[in-house]
Amino acid sequence: MSSTARLAAILPLLLLLSGPAVAALGGSEASIEADQAHLQATRSIVSASRYTVHELKTPSGTVIREYVSDGQVFAVAWQGPLMPDLQQILASYFADYEAAATSKRTGRGPVLVQQPGLVVHSGGRMRAFFGRAYIPQRLPAGVAFDEIQ
């Protein structure tokens, strides 16, 4: 079997085994389209002086903003009637968030996770959820956490 034929036989298996590319927290800007497709959202892009914001609006009305600097998503924020899929938008940071949120949670109310590599504020009530998360080390110089909304 030639090397071309072997490659043609192996390529479909590699595509099946690879996971979806997501532009969630810590991901690349190039993969934001995967989030848009997964969420069935419309997207608009706004440029600020130190970063770009990709705003995804889901059919339910939930808005997710992905903040990008130097080609990487350094922060995400959400608000709307339904809680977004946090596993999707926090990606590799979701396990850290879940462990920290579970250990500190004493009942209802907002969730605040502050770790050296991850900060998450999340809360809300039925039909009015909100939150924001960022990676402190990737926050561009001169950008305050309050800008992430």
Mean pLDDT of 90-108: 85
Total domains in the chain come to 1
pLDDT over 90, % of the chain: 61
| Residue 2 is assigned to a structural domain of this protein | no
Contact call for residues 90 and 77 (beta carbons, < 8 A):
no
**Residue 88 — very low, low, confident or very high, per pLDDT cuts 50/70/90?**
confident
Please indicate whether residue 108 or residue 43 has the higher confidence score (pLDDT). Answer: 43
- 34: phi > 0 → left, psi -120 to 50 → alpha, else beta; which? alpha
Tell me the CA distances in angstroms from 59 to 28, 33, 56, one per residue in order.
Answer: 24, 16, 10
| Residue 121 is assigned to a structural domain of this protein | yes
Domain containing residue 108: 20-147
Q: What stretches of 1-149 show up as alpha helix (H) in DSSP? A: 3-17, 32-39, 86-90, 94-104
| Residue 79 is assigned to a structural domain of this protein | yes
pLDDT per position as a tens digit, 27-43: 998 878 888 888 899 99
| Residue 39 is assigned to a structural domain of this protein | yes
Q: What is the pLDDT of residue 4?
A: 39
| Residue 12 is assigned to a structural domain of this protein | no
| Residue 125 is assigned to a structural domain of this protein | yes
In this structure, what are the phi and psi dihedrals at residue 99, rounded to the nearest 5 degrees? -65, -45
| Residue 81 is assigned to a structural domain of this protein | yes
